[in-house]
Structure 1
C-alpha cells in the first residue's frame, strides 16, 4: 500500500502508523530523493521543460521496492536496519510505501497495488509544514538558529518553486489514487486505510504477492 500527498499532509505519519499496526516495513521516497539538493535554477529549468517526473533522481528506490516485494530484505536508508516482509493482512504480506509520486513515476508506479492520496488543502499543508519547523525548535531551543535559517530558505522558495511543484504533484499524482482522504484525524485515516487494505486482500489470491 502506498500513501501520497503534498508535504505537510501527514503521509509519513499515516505510513508509520500503518506499518506499526501491521508490523510491516516502510519504504520512504524521502530517503532516496535528491531533487531537494538541486539549486533553484536547476529546478526552474526542469519545470520549464514540463517537469518530467521520471527525471527526479531516486537512485535505488525502484530496485529496493521490487526486492521487498520479492521477499528479499532491504536496508533501511533512514534507520540502517534491515526491512523485511513481516506484517500480513489476511495472510498476505504488506509493504507501506511513503511516496510523493504515486503511480505517476514510471519506476515505482507499476509496483503499487493500492494508492491513498491525502487531499489536504495546500494552505493547511503549509501550516503543518511550518509547525514542523517551530515544533522542532521548541523541542531543542539550541538548534533554533539553524532551524530559522532552514525555515527562511523554505519560505523564500515557496512562491516561485515549491508551490508550483505541489500543484503539479496534485494534478499528476492524485488522479492515480485508489482512495482519496480529506481532512480528518490520524485515527480516521488509519481506519480508512486499514479498511481499504482489508478489502483489497479479501478476494482469494496467492499469499505470496505483497501490497
Structure 2
C-alpha cells in the first residue's frame, strides 16, 4: 500500500522479555523525526485462549488490529520520517504487513527473556507467584514462545542478536535502515 514512501515504518518483534520495548524506545530516540507505537498500548479483539490458538496453528488474522491500523494510517499522513512499532507479529498479519517497510526480530534466548520477564514483572511479588509463573511457562507458555521462533522470526527482514548490548542492537538496526 505505502511501501517505499515516507514515513518509513519499522516493526520490532520478539518474544516477551526479548527487548522489543527497550529497542523501540532507543531506536525512536536515535531516529530523527520519528514516533513510536506499542502493541501493548491497545486492547485488541483476539483469541480468548492463546494456548488453544497456538495449538490450532496460530492464525494471526484472528486478531482484529483495527485500532492500531487506524493509528498507523493517521501517522502516515503526518510529516514524519519514521514510525517505530513495538509489534510482536512482524509481517504475519496481512493488514499490518501492508504498512511495514522493515520487520526486525530481536532474537533473545528464551532463558534470558524469561529472566527479564521475572525481573520486570515479579520484582515486588511473592516467591509463590514467581513459582506459579515458572510452572505456567513450562506447562503452557513456552509453546507460545516457540511459536514466535517458528513463525515470526522467519517472517522478519532482519534478525538481531538479543544478547548484544542495547547500544550495539540500535547501531546494527540504524545501519540497516541507512542501507535501505
Partners of 1:152 and 1:58 in 2: CA distance: 33
Aligned to 1:81: none
Q: Hey, what does 1:68 align to over in structure 2?
A: 75
C-alpha distance in 2 between matches for 1:131 and 1:107: 34
Q: What CA distance in whole angstroms lies between the structure 1 residues aligned with 2:153 and 2:51? A: 23
**What is residue 18 of structure 2 aligned with on the other side?**
9
Per-residue displacement from partner, 1:70-107 (whole Å, max 9, x unpaired)?
32xxxxxxxxxxxxx54xxxxxx100011110101122
Structure 1 runs not aligned, ≥5 long: 72-84, 87-92, 138-143, 201-211
Structure 1 residue aligned with 2:5: none
Say whether 1:189 aligns with 2:169.
yes
The correspondence for 2:155, drawn from 156, 176, 179, is 176
Q: 1:42-121 to 2 correspondence within 5 Å?
A: 42-71=49-78, 85-86=79-80, 93-121=81-109
Contact 2:46 / 2:63 at 8 angstroms: preserved in 1? no
From the superposition, tell whether residues 126 and 20 of structure 1 become closer, same or farther in structure 2 (CA, over 3 Å): same
C-alpha distance in structure 2 between counterparts of 1:35 and 1:163, whole Å: 23
Deviation at 1:153, TM superposition (A): 5.2
* 1:198 and 2:169 matched: no
Query: What TM-score, normalized to structure 2?
Result: 0.82
Number of residue pairs aligned between Structure 1 and Structure 2 = 169
CA gap 1:44/1:184 in 2 versus in 1, 3 angstroms? closer
d(CA) in 2 for partners of 1:48 and 1:122?
19
Look at both structures and tell me which one has the larger radius of gyration over its CA atoms: 1
How far the C-alpha of 1:16 sits from its partner, in A, is: 0.2
| Cα separation, partners in 2 of 1:148 and 1:16, compared to 1, 3 Å | farther
Verify the 8 A CA contact 1:32 1:59 in the aligned structure 2: no
> Which ranges in structure 2 are unaligned for 5 or more consecutive residues?
1-9
Q: Normalization by structure 1: what TM-score?
A: 0.71
Q: Give the 3 Å change call, closer, same or farther, for CA 21–174 of structure 1 in structure 2.
A: same
